[in-house]
Amino acid sequence: MVLAALLWSTAGVVTRQLQAAQGFEVTFWRSFFTVLSLAVILPLWQGPGVFARFPWRRRAFWLAGVCWATMFTAFMVALTMTGVARVLITMAAGPLLTALLSRVVTGHRLPARTWAAIVAGGIGMAWMFAGQLGGAVTGREWLGSIVALAVPVAAAVQWTVAQRSQAQGEPIDLVPAVLLGGVISSAITLPLAWPFQASGGDLCWLGFLGLTQLAIPCVLAVLAARVLPAAEVSLLGLLEIVFGIALVWLIAGEAPQPEVLAGGTLVIGALLSNELLGWHAARRPAAPIRPA
């Protein structure tokens, strides 16, 4: 799971290496190479009949695919418009948004620690975006931050759909949903990406993203979720933010602004505290029942 988080975090620094590809073309090629990679990985992993076993008639499966397509598209477009740190910290709100949506849709009650984390995370997000109100940040960067919000929103819907379908006895295989999302994202962004401007080097980088930043880590995450507690998987997944900011700072030289570091620290701290307390409560042995 740590390796999956590390691979997910490479999107920002790799995007900064592109020379000609911009905007929707970046999204198209990344989604296209993800589909191509999974079209090879899935038959090798689950057998040649894997595509026939896709739950094509399940509405929840299609909704999950739309959510993945939204995440693919919004994430890469946001990276071309604003800083990597802002995009990643915005994505950190995903677990809390998921908890809220799950409470509304499935009736799952939130413990006090999660409500506290929501409040602290909201303050951190406000702190992070406070610096964007000044003249130093362009309108394009502000719009990029808004586009990035679509990622945690779509993620919240995606995980809530999966949770509800499993509760109803209709579990969704998340890896095929990723492939479906890649197909939808490629189809939507192809007209917007034309005419192509990507150089040969850009295509190599984008192929790297499709294979190692989405296809492989998504498979690893599914395998990890089979043997690790959900709280531990979620906690380790937050390493993507730490790795992503560190990589783009060390390799691409994009130092995050002070308000991003301060607000981001508060957001991540709130999320980590929520997950650690939940993990500790889950591992605590139940008190023995005293005889009357």
pLDDT at residue 153 is higher than 60: yes
pLDDT at residue 144 is higher than 70: yes
Would you state the pLDDT for residue 112?
A: 81
Residues 232-264 have pLDDT tens digits of: 666 677 778 778 777 877 887 777 777 777 877
Would you state the pLDDT for residue 171?
A: 62
Mean local confidence (pLDDT), 140-158: 83
d(CA 148, CA 91): 7
User: Which parts of the chain fold into alpha helices (H)?
Assistant: 2-8, 11-15, 23-46, 59-79, 84-91, 94-106, 112-130, 139-148, 150-167, 174-193, 200-208, 216-225, 230-237, 239-250, 258-283
Would you state the pLDDT for residue 77?
A: 82
Over pLDDT 90: what percentage of the chain? 13
d(CA 233, CA 159): 13
Would you state the pLDDT for residue 66?
A: 92
d(CA 109, CA 235): 20
Are 264 and 128 contacting, i.e. CB atoms less than 8 angstroms apart? yes
Mean local confidence (pLDDT), 78-88: 75
Looking at every residue in the chain, the average pLDDT score rounds to 79
| DSSP secondary structure code for residue 212 in this structure | I
d(CA 183, CA 31): 7
Residues 160-212 have pLDDT tens digits of: 777 776 666 656 676 788 899 999 999 999 988 888 888 888 899 999 999 99
Would you state the pLDDT for residue 18?
A: 81
Over pLDDT 70: what percentage of the chain? 84
Would you state the pLDDT for residue 129?
A: 66
Would you state the pLDDT for residue 161?
A: 78
Would you state the pLDDT for residue 186?
A: 92
pLDDT at residue 52 is higher than 80: yes
Are 33 and 211 contacting, i.e. CB atoms less than 8 angstroms apart? yes
**pTM for the full model?**
0.77
Residues 29-45 have pLDDT tens digits of: 989 999 999 999 999 88
Name which residue leads in pLDDT, 124 or 69.
69
